[in-house]
Amino acid sequence: MPQVNSVFYRNDVDDDVDLFYELEQTIIKYQNMGKVFIVGDLNSRTGERPDYITNDSLDSNLTDLLRGIDYVSDDHYTQRNNMDKGINTFGHRLLSLCKSSGLRIVNGRHLNDQNGNFTFCGTNGLSLIDYLVTKSEKFTDIYDFCSGNFTEFSDHSPLHFSLKFRCIDSSSSIDTGNIGRKKSISVVWNTENTRTAVNNLEMNVDRLLESINVTILKQSDMNDCVKNFCNIINECVLPCCDVKTAVSNRSNLHKKESASKPWFNDQCKKKFKEYKEALQNFNRCKSRENHGILIEKKSKYKKFEFRMKRQYKRYEGNMMSYLKRHNPKEFYKIFSKRNSSSKAHTDISMDQFVEHFRNLSNIINMQDDLEGVEPGFANNVDTCIFDELDSVITKDEICKAIGNLKRNKSCNEDCIVNELFIECKHFIVPFIEKLFNMVFNTGIFPESWAEGCIVPLHKKGDVNDTNNYREITLVSCMGKLFTSVLNSRLLTWDKENNVITDAQFGFKQNHSTVDAIFILQSLINKSLNKRGGRLYCCFVDYKKAFDLIDRSKLWF
């Protein structure tokens, strides 16, 4: 509840929101559903004023008239103790709310809080403004109620209490939260163990050769071959890496921000220590003298920390400005890390994401998209027309593709990371060459290479709307290396045969929207510089263009 006349409290004439009225309506709503407990900072000082109607006993003359009506008076409620004798506007409102709703204040009435201890320690003194409020008949459901010691984290002391519940047998209920969810695996290559990894691989040469020297006749044969090959590699390499495994969970994606403070120097630590000592002394004896010392130490610590924090922020801003100009890669690395730690929490469940991406992939009607394609062409895609595209994959092609790999990329479920190919290139390339040619010649693509883990990446707007997320799919690094070799071939073939025209530079290397903007700007200048010149433009913003494109139609 915001404090009266604070920056969070509105008391405008046009603002007809009555906080206590809204609270009372909420109480009425939920009283019919179960037990109601109100807990928290109500900013209400109630003193020792009664929270029930006094002199509520019926007159003897009225008793006969109301015979048959079970009227329960408020006179039987015990007096409430309170160390805070003051009362404010919200205090009067809270007492009125208790009288009208039948709720009663627990503070100062419970066995462990018979004095009604203070719950707030401010510059102007101590007060009791944090409450537990419920029906009097629910008091028996509360035990161990007390006001805890003040801490450095808040001006309010925590309220500790326990509630009695009737246990329900949940043996028949099975937690299916993790059933069907795949594990998220993080593999980080340890460069110091590269030599050990290579030695382990060299000791298993025969097993690696045996895993790929097999006959491939059907899909299952290829799947088993790739699986066995990856398993042997993992046995040799994973002990040399840092591996973390966790079950996918949306709440786990929101990591707690580190509690470390870079500006927290030795002087800050000293003043913080003095502040904590004063706080401990105050908790032992809540005297005026100890309260004054506490406020003084706290004020000095807060002001000094604020000054150090401001200096650090100024230095950090200058550093980020310098990195942006001279080291953009490091700048965006730091910027992305901070941005990810401040993401808002989303209430979207895993099932909602699955349904969204499934519906997205079902939008494309493959049959409709193939209408108009030259008859017979779609059935002859396997016919060899260009020998340079159908030649054997060589070691040089694989080494070139490995040279373009980036480090610190996430792996798929096969746990193969790019660092394996980069650090163990001379050993692993002959095996990769054999495996890639098996896939290429048979035309059987391993299913594990076609599977991926979708990571929703928030783009803009409401974080609870699945349409505002871009899906990033983590696929096999080995599968990406294979497709990289094929893509390199296609790019070379395209360049030599001028397949993609300049009008399609969006699909060409080293071309971007910057080129399109430059061309558009040139056309505008050329047209408008002519007398009476005009240029008609049509701007089209495709929604989810990359998501909805039919990849198979790219062949035609």
Tokens representing 319?
Answer: 């550093």
Task: Read off the pLDDT band of 252 (50, 70, 90).
Answer: very low
SS3 state at 355: helix
Task: Read off the pLDDT band of 293 (50, 70, 90).
Answer: very high
Contact 446, 223 (CB under 8 A): yes
From 140-154, 326-340, 387-401, the region with the lowest mean pLDDT: 326-340
As a 3-state breakdown, the chain gives helix, strand, coil percent values, each rounded to 5, of 50, 10, 40
Contact 27, 138 (CB under 8 A): no
Question: Which residues, other chains included, contact 535 with Cβ-Cβ below 8 Å and sequence gap of 6+?
Answer: 523, 524, 527, 528
Contact 267, 307 (CB under 8 A): no
Decide: residue 187, CB within 10 A, 0-12 exposed, 13-18 middle, 19+ buried.
buried
Nearest residue to 119 (alpha-carbon basis) of 49, 8, 43, 52: 43
pLDDT at 73: 66
Rounded to whole angstroms, the Cα distance separating 153 from 146 reads 18
Contact 114, 108 (CB under 8 A): yes
From 45-49, 73-77, 517-521, the region with the lowest mean pLDDT: 73-77
Q: Ranked by mean pLDDT, which of 81-90, 322-331, 535-544 comes out on top?
A: 81-90
Tokens representing 42?
Answer: 């109500």
Task: Read off the pLDDT band of 168 (50, 70, 90).
Answer: low
pLDDT tens-digit map of 381-410: 555 577 888 899 999 999 999 999 998 888
Name the residue with higher pLDDT: 33 or 502: 33
- The mean pLDDT value for 440-467 works out to 88
Average pLDDT, the chain: 82
pLDDT at 308: 92
Provide the 10 A C-beta neighbour count for residue 126: 18
Task: Read off the pLDDT band of 77 (50, 70, 90).
Answer: low
- The mean pLDDT value for 65-90 works out to 76
Domains and CATH numbers, the chain: 19-163 (3.60.10.10), 196-254+347-499 (no CATH), 266-341 (no CATH), 517-556 (no CATH)
Q: Ranked by mean pLDDT, which of 46-55, 133-142, 234-243, 391-400 comes out on top?
A: 391-400
- Sequence letter at residue 22: E
SS3 state at 458: strand
Name the residue with higher pLDDT: 513 or 445: 445
From 171-175, 245-249, 294-298, 372-376, the region with the lowest mean pLDDT: 171-175
Q: What is the DSSP letter of 460?
A: S
pLDDT at 468: 85
Tokens representing 253?
Answer: 């994606």
* C-alpha to C-alpha distances, 541 to 40, 229, 553, nearest whole angstrom: 49, 45, 21
Decide: residue 374, CB within 10 A, 0-12 exposed, 13-18 middle, 19+ buried.
exposed
Main-chain phi, psi angles of 72, to 5 degrees: -105, 120
From 40-54, 105-119, 281-295, 380-394, the region with the lowest mean pLDDT: 380-394
Rg (CA), the chain: 35
Question: Which residues, other chains included, contact 131 with Cβ-Cβ below 8 Å and sequence gap of 6+?
Answer: 38, 39, 40, 42, 44, 94, 105, 106, 107
Nearest residue to 74 (alpha-carbon basis) of 91, 90, 92, 95: 95
pLDDT at 110: 87
Nearest residue to 223 (alpha-carbon basis) of 456, 467, 446: 446
- The mean pLDDT value for 197-217 works out to 92
The predicted model scores a pTM of: 0.54
